[in-house]
Chain A
Amino acid sequence: MQQNDDHLYTFGLLDEDAKREIRRSLLKAVAIPGHQVPFASRDLPIARGWGTGGLQITLAIITPEDTLKVIDQGDDAGVNAVNLRRLITQTTGVATTVATSEASLIQTRHRIPEEPLRADQILVLQVPMVDPLRWVEPNLERATVMHGEADYGRMWVYMYESVVRAGDLRIASQYPVMVNGRYMMDTTPIPRWDVPRLDMAEALFLFGAGREKRIYAVPPHTSVVPLQFEDYPFRTEYQAGQRCVRCGAENTFLTSHFVAGPADGGQWVTSCSDTNFCDQRLGAGEVQP
C-alpha cells in the first residue's frame, strides 16, 4: 500500500493518550471477565452506535503486523464493514483479508465466524447495548451496584416471567449469560447460535460499546453459561432440516434473502450469514484480497 507524503493522522487515528486509556481498560476487562469497565469513549468520524466502541478497541490494539478482517452480520461486504475497514486501513495501512483463518484481528457486528477461532486471534465485537440489567434496572449506576453485589435475583425472575408469558425466552437476540460464574453479561447483538461458542473458546473476545462507554471481555477458556431454566432450556435458532441454498451447509447460522425470479416474482431463500465460510465451501473462496 502506498504511503502518502501528506500525513493527516497518527497511526490508528487515536492519539496515544486515548489508546493508552483504552488499553488500560482492556487489561482490567480481561482480568475481571464479564465486568463492564468504563472508558472515555472518543468521538470518531462515524456516528456512535455504528461500531465506535469496537472501532476504538481495534484502533487501540492494532499493530502494523496485524491482518484485519471486518464483518457485519457475518458479511465482509456489508456497508458497515466496508466503511469501518476503509477507515482502519486508511489510518493504519494494515493488510486485510476476508479469510477468517488469515486474520489476526477480526472486528465484527453480530457474528462470530463459523470457522473455529485460534489462540492467536482476537475478536472485537461492536456492542450497541451493554447491560443485561437494563430490563429490570434502567439506571446504569444502580445496575452497576447490582453487578458488584451479584444481585441478579430480579433478572432471573424477569427472565422466568417472560418465559412463562411468551412461551420462550423473549429476549431472543439479547441473551444474558453468566461469565466465569460471576458476572451477568449481555451477548447483544450476536445470535443465540453464537452464544455457546463464547464458552471455553481458544480466542480472546473484546466487547466495546461507544455510546455507553463500556469495555468488557471474555478471555479464552472461560465459562460462559446462558441463563436458562429446567423447563425452558437454552436453545439456538437451529431448526431441523435447515440448509444453505448456496453451499448446502446444514449446520450454520442462516440469513434470509429475497431473490427475484423471472416468472413467479421471486422467493425467500436462506444462506450462510458467514459469507466467507459459505464461499470457502463453494470452492469459490478466492475473493480478491
Chain B
Amino acid sequence: MGFRPKPSFFFRFGGEAAKTEEKEFFGGGFASPEPPPREYTTIALLTNTMSTIAAPPTAQAYFSSRAFRVLLDCLARPGSIGTLPLPPQDDGLPPLAATLRPNPYAVAAFLSLLDQTTSMAHAAEGLWLTAEHPLTRWIMLRSNAQIGPPAFADYVLLHDPASAGCLSELKQGSLTFPEQSCTAFLCVAQLDACGATWRLEGPGIANSGSVGLPGLTPNVLKGIMATRAHFPLGVDIFCIDATGACLGLPRTTRIEAVYSR
C-alpha cells in the first residue's frame, strides 16, 4: 500500500557511485545522529551532476500542486487574498440549473482534494444536490469521491452565498479528532482585498485584517459563525469568487461584520 522504492533507483549511476548511494540512503551515512565534524573549507556542495530521474508533473498534477499552495497560503493567512490557477481543462462542466453555472475555479480546487477515501456533498440555492445531478456525476467520475449525507461529508461545495445556511449541518470533528471535520468551499460573487465587509482576527493575521465581499447578505456570516462556537471543533472555509480569488477562513479566525455604510 505504501510507496516501494524500485531497486533500480540506486543503481542508475553505475559502479562505485551506485554502491555509495545505496549505503548512504540505507543507513551508512545515517548511522550516527551526530553530523560529521565540519572542516573549515569552502564547500561546493550543490553541484548537481546527476540528472533528474522523474517525469515532469502532468497538467492535472501540476494544477493540483499549484492550487494546493494557494489554499495552504490562504488558510495560513486569513484575509490575504490568493489567486487560484485556471483548471487545466474545462471539459464541459455541467450547469447547476438552466441559467446557473458553477464556478470553475471553485470546482477545480474542490476536486483537487478529493479521492476515493473522501466523501463530498454540494448545494446550490440552499438545497443539497442529488447523486443524480449531472455535476455530481461529473465530480464523482473525476475524483472517485463518494457523495454522502451532508452531515458526514468531508468536503462540501456551496455554489452560492444563498447556500451558506447549509454550513450549520456540517460535521465539526470531535475534541479528540478535531481534524475529522468538514472543509467547505463557498462561492461568492466578489472578494475585495481592499474592502471592509468583515474584520478578521486570529492566527495568521498580524493585528487585524479586513476583507470586502460586496453585496453579501448577513446570512452568510451567520452560517459561518454557526460552525465555530466550539474550538477546536469547527469547519474551515474557503470563499472563492468568480475570478478565482480565494479567502481562507480557518476555524481560528474571528469574524466581525463592519457596519460602516
Contacts and interface: CB of A to CB of B under 8 A. Distances in A.
Interface of A: 1-4, 6-21, 23-33, 35, 37-38, 40, 42-47, 50, 61-64, 72-73, 75-80, 82-83, 85-87, 89-93, 96-98, 119, 144-145, 147-149, 180, 182-183, 200, 204, 217, 219-223, 246, 257-259, 275, 284, 287-289
B71 A18 contact: no
A221 B203 contact: yes
Nearest to A73: B35
B219 interface: no
A13 B44 contact: no
Interface in B22-61: 24-27, 29-30, 35-38, 40, 42-48, 50-57, 61
B147 interface: no
B31 to A, nearest CB: 10
30 contacts: A6-B53, A7-B53, A8-B12, A9-B55, A10-B61, A11-B54, A11-B55, A19-B64, A20-B112, A20-B114, A27-B183, A32-B179, A43-B3, A45-B10, A61-B68, A73-B35, A75-B35, A76-B45, A79-B29, A79-B30, A79-B35, A79-B36, A83-B24, A83-B30, A85-B46, A148-B177, A148-B178, A180-B203, A219-B75, A259-B40
Contact of B45 (A9, A40, A98, A183): A98
Interface in B9-29: 9-10, 12, 24-27, 29
A9 B53 contact: yes
Contacts of B76: 30, 204, 217, 219-220
A26 to B, nearest CB: 6
Nearest to A50: B30
A14 B65 CA distance: 12
A96 to B, nearest CB: 5
B30 A257 contact: no
B178 A32 contact: yes
B57 A144 contact: no
Given A83-B25, A183-B232, A204-B73, 5 more contacts: A12-B57, A42-B2, A219-B76, A258-B37, A284-B42
Given A27-B183, A96-B48, A63 B66 contact: yes
A222 B203 contact: yes
B231 interface: yes
Contact of A257 (B38, B53, B71, B112): B38
Contact of A28 (B53, B179, B204): B179
Interface string B203-219: 11110000000000000
A120 B194 CA distance: 20
A75 to B, nearest CB: 6
Contacts of A15: 3
Contacts of A73: 35
Contacts of A40: 2
Contact of A20 (B62, B64, B206, B250): B64
Given A64-B62, A180-B252, A287 B46 contact: yes
Given A182-B231, A182-B232, A288 B46 contact: yes
Contacts of B234: 31
The 5 closest A-B CB pairs, nearest first, are A148-B175, A31-B250, A7-B55, A28-B179, A11-B57
Nearest to B22: A45
Nearest to B253: A31
B46 A27 contact: no
B159 interface: no
Interface in B228-257: 231-232, 234, 236, 250-252
A96 B44 CA distance: 13
A10 B53 CA distance: 9
A90 B53 contact: yes
Given A11-B61, A61-B69, A90 B54 contact: yes
A1 B52 CA distance: 7
Contacts of B77: 119, 219-220
B113 A4 contact: no
B261 interface: no
A33 B3 contact: no
B107 to A, nearest CB: 16
B53 A4 contact: yes
Nearest to A93: B52
A27 B69 CA distance: 10
Contact of B55 (A10, A62, A78): A10
Most buried by A among B6, B66, B183, B252: B252
B71 A8 contact: no
A97 B181 CA distance: 38
Contacts of B72: 23, 26-27, 30, 61, 204
Nearest to B249: A31
A149 B176 CA distance: 8
A213 to B, nearest CB: 11
B232 A219 contact: no
